[in-house]
Structure 1
């Protein structure tokens, strides 16, 4: 389906653009025709029903704003996806503020220790909760757990209308509203909204159609992910081993499973993806040096390209970008999804406050507040992850010596560990109001 963006005459400085959007698949969560016919005028329309899009909808649940959520695929398609993510302490506080923590926590793993090691250096740096003054250092949650919890929380949201599966056919940005045409259940429907939010991924058709450029690059690496079950207990320890080929992370999961995230040059990563199971596990066991014993593979392996991307702007009149539509970072440190979740709740807070003040949600006066809040914080994390990868994926002798010294200092100097953990756990930036509620973990 082709998205034909028509820019109204008052904004003729923006050229029309065309992008291709995915086609819908059958599902059980489609709204009935009678529901569609009721209210098709909204305050906020969210394009994208992934974790970030649903987090935004959940954060707007008590706002009184009328919200539409548009997703091309059936929501239940995500309930079978077994990918896992590192979740920061700030993400835990956000989910607690949204009232989801009691449902999520029993289904995820908590880690209370992080071990950092460098292929070129002896020894291990161990980070612990006392370095930060917290009870834990982070969590690891699977995609289906997070998505299901968010979906359940939205099941009774009186202000939310689901359009799923549905595809955007046209988007027309006017001076005081956005007009959308969606195709759902074989019918074309017309929606209007003050603000359209693009939560439609790294290749965001909405971002491209709006003419918003990006800066960044593809890395020389790809990322292989898999879930394994080790012979020995993982001990709820998160491990990050820096190899010159790329970082190798191990994240603990319930039932003594581990999510591995192995970054390597494209050809090496492809070879690991296509290797037989015995050869793949043998390579992992070699990298672990026997620390976890024999390994068993649980489920399929996956391969992802690694890139860094920052949108030139996060907002323009009537449009805001969140999550991967706005930015992508290297997987080292597991920051990607966490940044998107913080985008979602920051935008929700800005919109809720603006609505209470009677302001038009789609104006730059409102939307720039969100951009100022999130853009620099995200850029800081993008720069940090890029620096880590470039520093540890280099055999230049002066750099090897420098990083050995840095790791030794981190291991011996508590203020360095504190500062590193503040950044890694998301606790160093501005906290959204809902993350400050008493229900926090």
Structure 2
């Protein structure tokens, strides 16, 4: 399926340049797309990385992510964890609580058998580290800012038409690839062109995101606090900072985000744990809507979709990026294990679809269940979930099981995808 050219683009087609053909074209150079390029950088495959947004603008996004142990193992497997570690904040405790109920559940590294429960890293730090690694990758070519306007399958190749993002000198180019990977975000124009339909719903909630500075060093803890309006995640950052993701009904979220710093902190403070200490400053806030989404298929002819382009989940538990990295791990493993002439073959891509679709659905359903269970004031549910918290706190095997699932360690991990390919 293709999309029509705009008139200004149509007139340039006759002079379009032919770019060197590649084995894999990755559309979208966010963290998921960059990670896939890093996983394939020593493979001997020709990789094109196509991004419509200038990198420096992309890296100013004020976002931070919880990286679970499964994601750490992936980054170790592709040989980039050591470079990420200076920019990552480990946390040794996750505290789970229900509103003002005094019953709390603490998860510790010994529950996983690891040195930390998880890690937090800011978007810019991850992206710039991955970009730096790719600068020395001779088999990866970056096209930025370029956007894909059509994708047609012709025999054993996908034929992409690209338009440059330079407003002073618009250009059109053609690029042939054995496989096209859409990693271009939740609204993925490329996914829409290929006719892959998303299924799901929007929650009646939005998330207010802000960074807090605290006066004194605090225990390195992450918090997941459930309130009737929605969950609140609080993640520790380097330099005595915390990242807050506060879920609220849409109108309230917009109103809270628009408050001045003093009023915002006054509104936020009752929801925070007193252990966090005195808040001395707050960053600019931004708001994003919570959404549940899963595409009907991760694969088509010479085409596969990963990351936010394939699925979106409620932010409770910080699963979003971790699911995208798991997609990358599985896809990279499959590409590296596939004979060169069969890369992009629909049979192999449908194996990837079957593997990832149900595994991602389990996590999406679990986060949906948590949000619905705890964002509810019906007293039988309140009593039931607090009994559940008591069980988690009391029954150690159950606590370990839940934590391993949320850390991405309960389902089978892919094998190491860092090995060379002979051409």
TM-score w.r.t. structure 2 length?
Answer: 0.92
1:283 and 2:263 matched: no
Partner residue, 2:355: 373
Larger displacement relative to structure 2 (245-254 or 288-297)? 288-297
Taking the aligned partners of 2:238 and 2:135, their CA distance within structure 1 comes to 27
Describe how 1:39-58 pairs up with structure 2 within 5 A.
Answer: 40-58=20-38
Structure-1 separation of matches of 2:81 and 2:148: 33
SS of structure 1 residue aligned to 2:357: helix
Change (3 A) 1:289 1:326: closer
Contact (CA 8 Å) 2:332, 2:417: kept in 1 or not? no
Q: 2:236 pairs with 249, 252, 257, which one?
A: 252
Specify the alignment match of 1:422 in structure 2: 404
Question: Hey, what does 2:251 align to over in structure 1?
Answer: 267
Could you tell me how far 1:64 is from its partner in structure 2? 1.4
1:412 aligned residue (372, 385, 394): 394
**Aligned CA distance change for structure 1 residues 72 and 247 (closer, same or farther; 3 Å):** same
Quick one: structure 1 residues 19 and 297, their matched pair in 2 at CA, closer, same or farther if it must change by over 3 Å?
farther
Change (3 A) 1:179 1:228: same
| 8 Å CA contact 2:31, 2:126 repeated in 1 | yes
Q: TM-score normalised to the size of structure 1?
A: 0.88
Provide Cα deviations, 1:98-119, integer angstroms capped at 9, x if missing partner. Answer: 2222221121110010100101
Following superposition, the deviation at residue 320 of structure 1 comes to 0.2
Distance in 2, matches of 1:232 and 1:401, equals 37
- Shift in alpha-carbon separation, 1:243–1:237, aligned structure 2, 3 A: same
Unaligned regions of 5+ residues in structure 1, if any? 7-16, 24-35
* Structure 1 position 392 matched with structure 2 position 374: yes
| Alpha-carbon distance in structure 2 between the residues aligned to 1:258 and 1:206 | 35
State the 1:79 CA deviation.
Answer: 2.8
> Structure 1 residues 18 and 434, CA, compared in 2 at 3 Å: closer, same or farther?
farther
1:298: Cα distance to partner? Answer: 3.9
Alignment match of 1:293 (pick from 267, 277, 280): 277
Contact map agreement 1:90 1:435 (CA 8 A) in 2: no
Contact 1:111/1:252 (<8 A) preserved: yes
1:330–1:200 distance in 2 versus 1, CA, 3 Å: same
8 Å Cα contact 2:92/2:108 also seen in 1: yes
Query: Of the candidates 125, 145, 149, which is equivalent to residue 169 of structure 1?
Result: 149
Q: Mind listing any 5+ residue stretches in structure 2 that lack a counterpart?
A: 10-15
2:73 to 85, 89, 93: 93
Are residue 216 (structure 1) and residue 196 (structure 2) matched?
Answer: no
RMSD: 2.0
Q: Distance in 1 between matches of 2:384 and 2:418?
A: 38
- Aligned counterpart, 1:9: none
Partners of 2:288 and 2:208 lie apart in 1 by: 7
